[in-house]
């Protein structure tokens, strides 16, 4: 198995294709500039994953936001036209999303394991599952954006450790145990936030 970032990049490509983030989606559209902006943002997310500036979990959240904007655009177009107010709303949403993508791209904390890294499929799968739980928590309102950024920072720290451990092409049993412990601690924190009964559902 290749690195999780390569795998996640392929996953992102599949998600983009599945969500229709491609020129073919623009069927008789009356919002070409908005569609071009969405396409450019999608490309930047993929570039960020390939370069290590954007982690898989960050990419998932960005892709979901892009999909939400696209669904709203389709709703606006359902009557055959979009009002100036609707166009402005889409531009504002895309502007905010683009700013977040570029902020991540400007992050100097790049996490990218070498191509000859040791295989860690079990760890990679657990990291992916934690990423999905963070995303679910944000969508349900159980995890705030601020909390999500803190959790993603911890994810990035784990990914940095993993990249370091893989730098010699081998991940030892002790290193795997350390990564496993770090992922477990993060997962427990995510579940604690999601299951905190004092929180109101968003």
More confident position, 169 or 134: 134
Residue with tokens 């979990």: 57
Q: Does one domain contain both 121 and 103? A: no
Q: Does one domain contain both 151 and 195? A: yes
27 Cβ contact list (under 8 Å, min separation 6): none
The C-alpha atoms of residue 69 and residue 191 are separated, in whole angstroms, by 28
Q: Which domain holds residue 105?
A: 1-109
pLDDT digits (tens, 9 = 90+) for 49-92: 777 788 766 777 788 888 888 888 888 888 877 888 988 989 89
pLDDT exceeds 90 at position 163: no
The per-residue b/e assignment along 91-122, b for 16 or more CB within 10 angstroms, e otherwise, is eebbeebbeebeebeeeeeebbbeeebbebee
Q: Does one domain contain both 22 and 82? A: yes
Q: What is the mean pLDDT of residues 34-51?
A: 85
Q: Does one domain contain both 37 and 24? A: yes
Grade residue 24 by pLDDT with cuts at 50, 70 and 90: very low
């Amino acid at each position: 198995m290749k690195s999780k970032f390569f795998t996640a990049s392929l996953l992102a490509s599949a998600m983009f294709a599945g969500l229709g983030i491609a020129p073919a989606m623009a069927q008789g559209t009356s919002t070409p500039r908005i569609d071009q902006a969405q396409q450019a943002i999608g490309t930047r997310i993929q570039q960020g994953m390939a370069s290590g500036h954007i982690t898989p979990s960050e990419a998932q959240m960005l892709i979901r936001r892009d999909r939400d904007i696209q669904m709203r655009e389709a709703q606006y177009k359902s009557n055959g036209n979009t009002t100036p107010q609707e166009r402005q709303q889409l531009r504002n949403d895309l502007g905010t999303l683009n700013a977040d993508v570029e902020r991540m791209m400007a992050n100097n904390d790049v996490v990218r394991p070498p191509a000859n890294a040791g295989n860690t499929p079990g760890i990679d799968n657990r990291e992916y599952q934690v990423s999905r739980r963070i995303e679910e928590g944000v969508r349900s309102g159980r995890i705030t954006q601020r909390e999500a950024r803190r959790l993603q920072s911890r994810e990035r720290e784990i990914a940095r450790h993993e990249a370091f451990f893989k730098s010699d092409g081998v991940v030892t049993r002790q290193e795997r145990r350390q990564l496993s412990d770090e992922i477990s601690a993060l997962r427990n924190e995510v579940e604690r936030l999601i299951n905190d009964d004092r929180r109101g559902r968003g």
